[in-house]
């Protein structure tokens, strides 16, 4: 329906909120421009105005009339059109009617948005990120893909070769990371060196790197720059680590583990995570004081019920309090509480400020810090929460199975072996095969103890060992292949699978 509009006409629809209309009303009371009136049927009509016109705005939005009751178009106003653009244009008024004669220039129709005010009153301001949920709907995989795109997987400089001894992963890593031309944005080349100083394998096609990143994060977790519970660790103060900037180097390693392998710490305290994300933290508590002796001294001061008892407890902790400048006599229980709080705050936060600065600097590697601060809720589980244990069904569905031809003798034995395999995974999950765990089975196969957030380069595969002399499982972590031995009974299969994995502290052939 063309409403009788000429092809050369230009249509402008102007939407005004209630706030806009009030502003126009205020302006027109002084300057005068046009008048707005409504008929008894709710239809807008334009009329001649006086020298000083006024703008009349209804307090409500009148309902639209039925088509049958709508009146004819009003006669064109003799008032000049309102000029809103640099060049005068023809402004048209439309009604939902059958085609009419071409419309002449009309005053602009102001359409009040009756929902505008109610929406603005109910709309809450945009809040900052919080751990209850991210503001932007974005997931960890999307962020990691963006960061991984910064890594050139085709380029592996000599400086990125990491020669690793499993009994000293952190020290070996420090030597590599401190090289002048070490490039975290290039591929890593990991070579494990056994006790005889022989490198395991010549080319790192992914398996050694996955195992290395897992071992590196474990070494970071156990390093002396952290203290506290195994699953709730915070930075500890080490003057030698400050001098050598170990906090920065360890944070760089964490960034490389996260981006190159999707391996997260899963041991940060909430306070440490908030600090690196720039989120305000609550006042420290006495329980967060890492030094056991000093913590007990502060608890004794805190639990004092009289001023005399408090000063006696303060005297017992005089050596520790004087070192941090908190030794003082109190004259009230309020002063006692203030002393305990300020001491806990300094011990947990203040004295670690320089260490935290170094740590944050290292997390800038590969853009990790920027993403952490933009999406803290997305990374929370990766840094703070404990890893979710694997289940038998996870490994059952992880692998493709390379079966022989259906109906062959080999296929029958392979079918039975897959039954053994799945039963064995269930036994492991139920704790019947200790100390073998599902994580160790995955480590044996891939070098990783969990499935990375971005998954493996390709789907792992199960193959079969039909040779009678190959009774133990074998694996190639680079191409992600697990080869299962064929045994006539479940008990034999279970025995040799457990022995093969437990006797293989390294990846690859059991």
Long-range contacts from 50-55, C-beta under 8 angstroms, 24+ separation: 53/28, 54/28, 54/29, 55/21, 55/24, 55/25, 55/28, 55/29
Q: Number of helices (H) and strands (E) in the chain: give both, helices first.
A: 19, 12
Q: Are strands 481-485 and 474-476 parallel, antiparallel or unpaired?
A: antiparallel
Q: Is 478 a catalytic residue?
A: yes
Q: Give the separation between CA 202 and CA 484, rounded to whole angstroms.
A: 25
String of b and e for 404-420 (b: at least 16 CB within 10 Å)?
eeeeeeeeebbebbbeb
Tokens of 28: 């027109």
Provide the β-strand partners of residue 328.
Answer: none
Closest CA to 473 of 505, 447, 507, 501: 501
> Exactly one of 257, 277, 433, 478 is catalytic; which is it?
478
Rounded to whole angstroms, the Cα distance separating 162 from 165 reads 10
Structure tokens at 464: 């079969």
Residues 202, 189 contacting (CB under 8 angstroms): no
Burial status of residue 335 (CB atoms within 10 A of its CB: 0-12, 13-18, 19 or more): middle
Q: Which residues, 6 or more positions from 463, have their beta carbon under 8 angstroms from its beta carbon?
A: 402, 481, 482, 483, 484
**Tally of CA atoms within 13 A in the half-sphere of 500 that contains its CB:** 24
Residue with tokens 């064929």: 486
> What whole-number distance in Å separates Cα of residue 182 and Cα of residue 169?
17
d(CA 440, CA 442): 5
Active site residues: 478
């Amino acid at each position: 329906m063309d409403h009788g509009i000429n092809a050369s006409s230009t249509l402008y629809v102007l939407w005004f909120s209630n706030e806009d209309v009030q502003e126009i009303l205020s302006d027109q009371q002084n300057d005068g421009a046009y008048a707005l009136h409504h008929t008894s049927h709710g239809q807008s009509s334009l009329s001649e105005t006086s020298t000083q016109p006024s703008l009349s705005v209804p307090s409500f939005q009148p309902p639209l009339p039925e088509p049958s009751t709508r009146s004819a178009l009003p006669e064109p106003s003799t008032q000049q059109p309102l000029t809103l653009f640099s060049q005068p244009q023809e402004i048209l008024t439309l009604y939902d009617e059958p085609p009419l004669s071409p419309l002449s220039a009309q005053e602009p129709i102001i359409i009040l948005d009756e929902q505008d005010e109610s929406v603005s009153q109910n709309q809450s301001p945009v809040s900052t990120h919080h751990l209850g949920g991210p503001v932007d709907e974005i997931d960890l995989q999307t962020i990691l893909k963006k960061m991984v795109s910064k890594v050139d997987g085709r380029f592996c400089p000599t400086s990125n070769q990491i020669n690793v001894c499993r009994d000293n992963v952190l020290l070996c890593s420090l030597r590599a990371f401190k090289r002048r031309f070490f490039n975290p944005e290039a591929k890593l080349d990991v070579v494990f060196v056994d006790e005889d100083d022989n490198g395991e394998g010549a080319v790192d096609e992914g398996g050694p790197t996955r195992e290395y990143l897992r071992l590196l994060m474990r070494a970071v977790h156990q390093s002396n720059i952290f203290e506290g519970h195994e699953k709730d660790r915070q930075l500890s103060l080490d003057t030698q680590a400050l001098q050598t900037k170990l906090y920065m180097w360890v944070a760089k390693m964490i960034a490389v583990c996260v981006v190159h392998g999707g391996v997260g710490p899963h041991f940060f305290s909430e306070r440490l995570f908030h600090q690196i994300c720039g989120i305000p933290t609550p006042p420290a508590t006495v329980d967060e004081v890492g030094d056991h002796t000093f913590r007990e001294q502060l608890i004794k001061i805190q639990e004092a019920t009289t001023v005399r008892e408090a000063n006696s407890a303060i005297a017992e902790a005089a050596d520790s309090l004087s070192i941090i400048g908190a030794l003082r006599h109190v004259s009230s229980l309020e002063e006692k509480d203030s002393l305990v709080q300020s001491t806990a705050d300094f011990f947990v936060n203040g004295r670690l400020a320089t260490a935290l600065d170094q740590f944050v600097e290292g997390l800038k590697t590969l853009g990790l810090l920027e993403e952490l601060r933009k999406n803290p809720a997305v990374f929370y589980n990766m840094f703070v929460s404990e890893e979710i244990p694997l289940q038998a069904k996870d490994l059952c569905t992880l692998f493709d199975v390379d079966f022989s031809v259906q109906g062959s003798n080999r296929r029958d034995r392979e079918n039975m072996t897959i039954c053994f395999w799945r039963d064995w995974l269930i036994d492991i999950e139920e704790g019947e095969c200790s100390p073998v765990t599902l994580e160790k089975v995955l480590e044996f196969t891939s070098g990783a103890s969990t499935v990375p957030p971005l998954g493996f380069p390709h789907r792992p595969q199960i193959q079969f060992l039909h040779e009678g002399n190959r009774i133990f499982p074998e694996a190639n972590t680079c191409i992600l292949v697990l080869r299962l031995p064929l045994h006539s009974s479940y008990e034999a299969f279970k025995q040799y699978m457990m022995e093969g994995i437990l006797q293989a502290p390294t990846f690859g052939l059991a």
